[in-house]
Each structure stands twice: as C-alpha cells, then as structure tokens.
Structure 1
Amino acid sequence: MEFTADLSALIDVLASDDVDGYLIDDDSTDSDQRYVSGFTAPDAYQTLVTPDGGVHLLVSGLEYGRATAESNADSVTRRASYDYQGLAAEHGPHEGKIRMLESFLDDHDVGSVSVPRSFPTGTADGLRDRDVSVSVESEGVIEGIRATKTEWEIERIRGTQRANEVAMATAERLIAEADVAGSPARSSASADESLESGVLVHDGEPLTSERVKEEIEVALLRHGCGLDETIVACGADGADPHDRGSGPLTADDLIVVDIFPRDKESGYFGDMTRTFARGDPGEEARRRYEVTERAYEAALEEVEAGVTGADVHDAVCDVIEDAGYATLRTDPSASTGFIHSTGHGVGLDVHEQPSISPVGGELEAGHVITIEPGIYDPAVGGVRIEDLVVVTEDGYENLTEYPVDLEPVSR
C-alpha cells in the first residue's frame, strides 16, 4: 500500500484494555492483516502494533526482502532471528512457532496482547501456556477503522469500478447483439435451427451465462482486476439474489448481471449490478424494474453523513411496500419481494462495514457503500440495481458512471 493506516483508535483500545500490544497472525487474505501491515504474502506472518503506534512484522526469510521494501512496518524481523528452524526441530513446528513468538514479543517488551476475533485458537493457547496474556478484541476495531476510507483508498476503489464498467459493457453488448433463436429477424439460422425458440445466440452458439461470465473475466484481467465469481442469472435464477446463473440466456426474460471485481495490485473491490431484458419481459417485470429504480433513487437521496444505514434501508422499503410488494420489514419470512438488505460497505473486502440494513448505524463521510435494492419472484424473475457511492458530509459521490437501462445496448 502507498498509505499508512491511522491506527489511533486501536491505540486507544490498547490503552483502555491495559495491554502491551495488538497481534495479528494470518496471511494477507485477512484484510485487517493487509491493512495494518501494508504487505501481502500467501503464508501467515505476524504483525504487532505497540502502544506507541509502532508496527512490527515477523516474516519468513522468503518474504523478508519484500516486506522490508514494501510494507508500512517500522521494523521487519526474520524468523531466523529466533532460530525458528532449530526450535521447530527440537519442539515441533507448533511449539517452535509459539516459542519464536514469545521471543519476538519479549523483544518489544510485550507481555500481554489483544488479538482479533479470527486469531488462531492454537496460537492463543500456546502463548498463554508461555505466560503471555491473550485477550480477544471483540469489537472489530480495525474493521471499524477500515470503514472510513482515505482519498487514496477512494481512488483505488474508483479505479476498480472503472474496470467494472468495462466488464459490464462487455456483458451488455453480448446480450444486445445476440440473435434470438426462432426470430424472423435472426441473421444466422443455419446449423442452429434446432435451438429452442427464444434462446439468445452469439456466433452460432447459444449465449450462456457461462460464456458471458468468461468474457467479463477476460475484460477485467485486461484492466488489472480479477474475480472469483460473478452473477449472470436469467429468469427464475435471477430471483435468487446470489444464484450465479447457468445455461442459455433467453429473450423476454430478466437477466441480472452483478460484478464485484478486485484490483490485483491494490486489493480494493468494486461492485455493480444491472438488470437487462432483451425483448419484452412483460408489464409486471417492467413495473418491478420501475419500482426498483425508484427505490434506488430514494435511497441515494437519503445518503449523507449523520443518517443511519437503517434510515437508508427504510427509504427503500417505503417505496417497495407502497407499490404493493413484500419486504422483510413487513414479513421477515418473505421469500419474494425485497428479501435482502439495501447495501454494505466495500473496500479490501467486498462486504464490510458499514451495513445499510435494519441494524445499520450512523454513516460517516468517507464510508464507501453499495445501494442495491431489488425485487424477486421466480414467476417473474429478479430485478436489482446497484451503484457504489462515497458518503459525504452533505450527500454522496457516485463512483459508478454506468447508465441504468433495462433494454441492453452496445456501448
């Protein structure tokens, strides 16, 4: 990372809990570890934060040079400094690690540590057996710090969202330019006349969810981003908000495309959803789309520092309920209608604080959140519209510059 995290809130917790340090033991897939250390590694390493705000890393010899050059740490120590290999040979890998950590902590005058909720139980118990006091910091203070983004972080997220827009345009273009099997206007009818009427066809083959997702991934890779999964869900599949979708896409059905890539260099996510229909999905589907768009606009109008995530969520529920559709607010057991929260924070995790939901707390300037209302029913399909915005003192800045249109076009 190219910025140093403001850990003052963590230092306050160390003081109030009267402990000598905060210890993380994980690899960089743990976003708190990556955030505090400013370093990435595929194997677990240890980060210690001391009450003076110092950040100290303990890494393998393999990672020492890179950690010294790239991390935000005030000091970087190799495992070899504590003869880890010798300790492991004598006591076994686990006990050797514990004794190494004990020496590392002792070098920094640390006899008591606070640890995150995800801290390995074996490591905690091993340190306690060596008379190191270990207590769990249960409030998630680092996740709370991460929720408010710096300008540097916002620019990283903005860049990921730009790549996301390229990928969304790729998906929309494939849907818009596909032929429709059985349609008189179809331009290529030769070998595929056996296809079921209404199936979208591209280059003589059925246009499947899998094909669109593949092209989305290729577009993202070309812009420095990747993703493990994405959603291209047609018809009844789209009525399950997290159904990834599979099989041929069809005309006259709603198609939900939800893309949430991560920039490979910075680690920051983007997130966006659009719903398309090639052809005429019917009056009820169009009505649901219009209601969802009104709910999305009502939520955006509510966003500003000082309001709560619950306030924003309520604005969405008001619109959807007034239109006659169920929400979890009116029926907690509802399986159709608006059946999820309005949004969530986005950063080094695609789902992080704050929450835009019935339990969502106060929004602060610098929070990056999604606004993503939807209406779902297997008999009609699913509709979801999602943008990514930054909360400001008097409103929001939309990081998403992609049009909201039901009918797909080539962009």
Structure 2
Amino acid sequence: MDIDPDTAPLERRLEALGVDGYLIDDDASDPDQRYLSGFSAPDPYQTLITAGETVLLVSGLEYGRARSEATADTVARLSEYDYQDHVAEHGPFEGKIRTIAAFLADHGVGSVAVPRRFPTGTADGLRDHGLSVTVETEGVVAGIRATKTAWEIDQIRATQRANQAAMGRAESLIASADVAADGTLIHDDEPLTSERVKTEIEQTLLEYGCGLDETIVACGADGADPHDRGSGPLEAHEPIVIDIFPRDKETGYFGDMTRTVSHGDPGEEVRRRYEVTREAYEAGLEAVEPGVTGAAVHDVVCDVIEDAGYETLRSDPTTETGFIHSTGHGVGLDIHEEPRLSPAGEELEPGHVVTVEPGIYDPAVGGIRIEDLVVITEDGTENLTDYPVALEATLR
C-alpha cells in the first residue's frame, strides 16, 4: 500500500491513556490492521505502534513479503522470540502469548492500548504475564482512516469504475430480456433470475481485479427490505434494486453504488416514489460540503421525502415503510466506516469519502434507492460515480 499513515492522533491518545504502545492482533481483514501495517496476510499478525515507530511481528512464512510490502519501520519474525520453543513447551495458545510478551518487552513496552475488537484471550493472556492492557474506546484509528489521502481516493475511484462496468452489465441483462406471458423476464430462453444477474456482476468485477462477498439484486417486495439480497425470477413492470459494493482484490478499497431500474412501466406510484427519491438524492449531493455535518445532510434528505408525504425514521421512529435508514456512510478499507450521514453524523472534512443513498420502501409497492459515492474536497465535492440515473432499464 502506497500510504504513510498519520499516527500522530493515535500517539497523542496513547499519551493521554498513559500507555507505552498500541497493539493489534488480527489478520488483514481488520481494516485498522491493514491500514496501520500497510500489509495484508490471511493469518493473524501483530502490529505495535509506539512513539514514532511501527513494528510488525509476523511468521517466517510472511517475513520476506512483509519486509518488501509493509509500511512499518521494522518487521520481526516469531522465531526471534523463540516461538516454536514456547509452543513445544506450553502449547499453541500460551506459546503465542509468551512470544508476544517477549516481543513487547524487547521494545520496552509494559502497557498497551488495544482496539475494541482485540481478542479477549490475547488480552487476558498478556495480563497474566504482567502487562497492562487497556481498551481504546474512542476508535481513534477509524477516525484517522476516515480522511483519505490522494492515493486512497484514486484506489476507491478505480474500484468504482469497476462497479460501474458491473452495473452496466446488470442493467443491460434486464433491458434486453424478453417478457413471458406471466410477466417473468426471460433471457436465453430461461427465466432471468436475481442469481443470474449477480453472477454476471461478479464475473465483470473479476475482469477488473475486484470481487465481492454479496450483492443485491432485489425485485418488487424483496427490494422493500434494504438489505434483502434478492432471489428468484425477476419480473417486468417492477422496481429492481441493484446495489453493488465491490472490493479491489489487491488494494482492499471498496466502491459502492445503487441504481433502481424496471423493465417496462412499473406504474404511477413507483414512478412518483422514484422521482421523490431522485430529488432527495440530488438534494443530498448538493448539501454535502466541507464543514457541514452528516446530520445536516440527513435532515435535507428527510425534508424532501417528508414533504412528499412519505414517512422517515425522523418523522416516525417506528415506521416500517418510507425512508427507513440513514442517508450514507463512509467507504474505504471497510464498506461501512466513518463518517456517517445520519442523525448523529459529525462534521464532514476534506478527504472524507461518503455515500449518498436515500430510498423509499414499501412491500406493497417495492423499494427504490439511488446511491452515489462522493469525496469531500477543500471547496466542495467530487462525485466518484459516473453512471446514469434512470428508472427505465437501458442497454449500456
């Protein structure tokens, strides 16, 4: 990773807590671990942050690659702290604890702060060896990660380009389908299913070096649940929510985009809800700028939807229809991270990358959601999404 993390806020937090260092014990699926170490490995390794220094502790298997790829100042091997001897004498768990304890002692660390997701077993084991372990409750590293560098923004932009190609493939499949007598969409003489469209999405993303664990292609009532992945045959004259959130396999950075399309006229009420959602989406995009809070952006979106006569969680916290989620969230090494465009959303700053994704939902009508991904700049925003917004599915 071509990034030099700014650990100064973390070091100030460590000083305030009165500890010697900050320790992560996790694999690179943890975004804080990947960010601070600049390294990706499938098995847990340790990252230690002290005043002015970042040190990794890795297995011999990962040592050579860590030395060439990691952004850490120093990389150490488990064997340097007699790992195999500790395991042979005390077993895998206690052997690991004794190795980490020796690693910390070698760097003059007797007390550490750890992230909220730090393994309880590791924490208790280190305490049994006389180390002080304090949970860092503010999530300061997530706050650091929220402000992206130019390099990070480029990675997110690249993932979003892949996302757009996949969205185009999905929309084209729907637009080119035939319609059976019962309204089912037909492609290659077979029902066009949510699963088929998802497969095409995944195959397109792979061509761009991206992948995803899940995506959403949800038709009709399925789309009225914002996180229903969708299943089964797709229907004509129904809104189809397509939400794709891929991750670049090499850099780990996500993209995120949603479009709602229909093959054929979905009816007056769906068209009206679509136009209201589009108006809310455009108002949200216009409201996003440096110095504005995520809460203020969320309020702007809620104003549009409520003025059109639909409920939001702001107008009715118990509603199960209408706008039933927040306006947006940060995107980076995690698909949902700081900052948030929500009732508690804090001030937006240059370098923040956020989604703007209002929606209106009702099982009796279906779901509508439109989502772009934008970066906050010094004087406004840059939209990282370049894809048409239209209800009628079109060949792309």
Normalised-by-shorter TM-score class = over 0.9
Structure-2 separation of matches of 1:234 and 1:90: 58
Structure-1 separation of matches of 2:91 and 2:263: 62
Equivalent residue number for residue 263 of structure 2: 278
Equivalent residue number for residue 369 of structure 1: 354
Residue 389 (structure 1) aligned with residue 388 (structure 2): no
Structure-2 separation of matches of 1:223 and 1:101: 39
Q: Secondary structure at the match of 1:217?
A: helix
Equivalent residue number for residue 272 of structure 2: 287
Q: Secondary structure at the match of 1:325?
A: coil
Equivalent residue letter for 1:199: T
- In the TM superposition, residue 123 of structure 1 has moved relative to its aligned partner by 0.8
Residue 311 (structure 1) aligned with residue 263 (structure 2): no
Q: Which runs of 5+ in 1 are unaligned?
A: 183-196
Equivalent residue number for residue 47 of structure 1: 47
- In the TM superposition, residue 134 of structure 1 has moved relative to its aligned partner by 0.8
Equivalent residue number for residue 11 of structure 1: 11
Structure-2 separation of matches of 1:95 and 1:204: 60
Residue 95 (structure 1) aligned with residue 80 (structure 2): no
Structure-2 separation of matches of 1:244 and 1:399: 24
Equivalent residue number for residue 188 of structure 1: none
Equivalent residue number for residue 349 of structure 1: 334
Equivalent residue number for residue 68 of structure 2: 69
Structure-2 separation of matches of 1:264 and 1:92: 35
Q: Which runs of 5+ in 2 are unaligned?
A: none
Q: Secondary structure at the match of 2:103?
A: helix
Structure-2 separation of matches of 1:213 and 1:45: 34
Equivalent residue letter for 2:61: L
Greater mean deviation of Cα atoms: 393-402 or 332-341: 393-402
Q: Secondary structure at the match of 1:85?
A: helix
CA offsets 1:121-169 (integer angstroms, 9 cap, x no match): 1111111111111111100010000000000000000000000000000
Equivalent residue number for residue 27 of structure 1: 27
Equivalent residue number for residue 234 of structure 1: 219
Structure-1 separation of matches of 2:97 and 2:218: 48
TM-score w.r.t. structure 1 length?
A: 0.96
**Aligned-residue identity in percent:** 72
What is the total number of aligned residue pairs between the two structures?
396
Equivalent residue number for residue 83 of structure 2: 84
Structure-2 separation of matches of 1:306 and 1:3: 25
Greater mean deviation of Cα atoms: 163-172 or 104-113: 104-113
TM-score w.r.t. structure 2 length?
A: 0.99
Equivalent residue letter for 1:2: D
Equivalent residue letter for 2:23: L
Structure-2 separation of matches of 1:399 and 1:221: 20
- In the TM superposition, residue 393 of structure 1 has moved relative to its aligned partner by 2.8
- Two-structure CA RMSD over aligned residues (Å): 0.7
Greater mean deviation of Cα atoms: 120-129 or 317-326: 120-129
Equivalent residue letter for 1:44: P
Structure-2 separation of matches of 1:138 and 1:41: 26
- In the TM superposition, residue 394 of structure 1 has moved relative to its aligned partner by 2.8
Q: Secondary structure at the match of 1:394?
A: coil
- In the TM superposition, residue 395 of structure 1 has moved relative to its aligned partner by 1.9
Structure-1 separation of matches of 2:380 and 2:363: 35
Structure-1 separation of matches of 2:73 and 2:9: 18
Equivalent residue number for residue 146 of structure 2: 147
CA offsets 1:69-103 (integer angstroms, 9 cap, x no match): 11011111111111111111111111111111111
